[in-house]
Amino acid sequence: MIRQHIYYASNLLISCSSRHEVLHTELVLDLYEIQDTINDIYLNNRCLNDFMKSQSAMEYLMTYGWAILIIAVVLAAFYYLGIFNTSSKLNTCIGVSGYECTNPVLYSNGALSLNLNEISSSYINVVDVGCSNSTKEPQMYPQKATLGGNQPANLVFYCPLNNQAIGTGFTGTLWIEYTVLGSTEVQTQDVGEVSATVISGVQTNNGLAIDGHNTFENSDTENSIISLSTTQANDLIVVYVGFDPSYQESPIATGVSSVTDTAGLTWQMRSEVTSNDYCSVAYNSIVVSDYQEVWYAISPNPLSNDNIQVNYNGWADDQNLIAFGISGVNVSSPWNSGSVPATAEDTSGTSEYTNAIVTVATAGSLSPKQQTMLLAFVGNDAYCQQNALAEYSCTFGPWTGTSDYNSLGTLPNCGGSWSYDSGAEYKVVTTAQDTQIEMYDPTGRSEYWSMIGDAVNGK
């Protein structure tokens, strides 16, 4: 009996042991499955994290990409405009001793507007201004102002930009030609150094303005060439010609036959006047006259060293040429329709006169924005004196205008057989005019003068 119980117990123990091994095996398998599941979850989470990081980076780029692109475009524009160029400086003007210049503004057409002050106790009359990019005296442009008494005047200089881009810097020297109050002697001086950044825009001096001018003297030729440069489009180009005939060549000139230029402009004669030739009334039994003519053209583009050739219908002596441009002109109707051009002359041959007068009357009522430029041209045979050798010499002074007119040049030409003296001036007005324009020869040694008066319409 006891043996049976022992056998039964042994079998039960073996059975339990086998069962335990089975359970242990199943438990181990379950643990492996759990570990595999955990590994799968870990890998999935890692991939999910990587995906989320990529998505965040993409969202960042999408959010800030346009902003970055806009910033890049703005920086490129700044670079193009020269903001980072070290030559682009703040606008400054430093006057030389005795002068003060402030508020310089430089426009893309080369016009430099600033306030200039002569800070000593004396007064000066500015007649021409210029701007150079070197220490050499530049081409001067007419402009009139009185400086002194600590009262600055606004002046417009024209600087040689040479197609400089907007936003770039320019450095140059300012020049003026002036007379001391009470004197007619013209002096030249540099008055300051300017540094300015070029800005977009075109500046002119009060609407109608002189845009470049030049003078030239010649003798005993059949033609003469004068060069002119301007800064603006649609200028009225005017050429004054005054001369007396040549007595050494044949045929003698009695007028201008044509005007041509390298820019190919279309030229027309505006006015003419003649006067007696004091020194040649009986020369070789030929009575001759002196001549003045005004020619003009419209230039659609700025002129650069345009060579303007005046062709005579014979040989001309003592030739005086004055060429200039006028900006702000009504190009469709440049000349006023009043009693212009007007002419006047002296026929008496008085040798001791000191002035010449022409009356100009303009038409139409003008608003402040519709200006008129009055022009006056004078010419005469200068005082001549025959010596014991039957040779002639001439003595005369320069033509000057009244204080409210600007000079375009005075030419005392003694270069040929005899002599011829010319002068020109202008004034901008905003009201209709019926006025006498007067010019003076302070020496009182001019005979047989003649004058031309005219008026130009503004826009």
- Name the range with the highest mean pLDDT among 10-19, 140-149, 307-316: 307-316
Which pLDDT value is given to residue 279? 52
Residue 89 carries which DSSP code? -
Buried b (16+ CB within 10 A) or exposed e, 347-382: eeeeeebebbebbbebeeebeeeebbbbbbbbbbbb
Q: Which of 374-378, 413-417, 424-428 has the lowest mean pLDDT?
A: 413-417
Buried b (16+ CB within 10 A) or exposed e, 385-400: eeeeeeebebebbbbb
Which pLDDT value is given to residue 32? 57
- Name the range with the highest mean pLDDT among 187-191, 248-252, 314-318, 404-408: 187-191
Q: Pick from 362, 367, 357, 364: which is nearest to 405 by CA? A: 357
Which pLDDT value is given to residue 270? 96
CATH 2.60.40 in the chain is located at 92-199
Residue 171: CB atoms within 10 Å: 13
Greater confidence (208 vs 32) lies with: 208
Alpha-carbon distance of 144 to 403, in angstroms, equals 9
Q: Region 182-189: what's the mean pLDDT?
A: 86
**pLDDT tens digit string along 360-392?**
888 764 444 467 888 988 887 654 443 333 333
Class of domain 92-199: mainly beta
Alpha-carbon distance of 373 to 329, in angstroms, equals 9
Tokens of 336: 């006023």
Greater confidence (365 vs 144) lies with: 144
Greater confidence (342 vs 318) lies with: 342
Of the pLDDT bands very low, low, confident and very high (cuts 50, 70, 90), residue 151 is confident
Of the pLDDT bands very low, low, confident and very high (cuts 50, 70, 90), residue 266 is very high
Asked whether the predicted pLDDT for residue 26 surpasses 60, the reply is: no
Greater confidence (5 vs 436) lies with: 436
- Name the range with the highest mean pLDDT among 143-157, 358-372, 427-441: 143-157
Which pLDDT value is given to residue 40? 60
Provide Rg for the chain, Cα atoms. Answer: 44
Which pLDDT value is given to residue 196? 93
Which position has the token pair 């009055």?
374
Alpha-carbon distance of 244 to 392, in angstroms, equals 15
Q: Region 160-178: what's the mean pLDDT?
A: 89
Q: Region 281-291: what's the mean pLDDT?
A: 58
Q: Pick from 361, 292, 365, 301: which is nearest to 331 by CA? A: 301
Greater confidence (105 vs 6) lies with: 105
Which pLDDT value is given to residue 344? 85
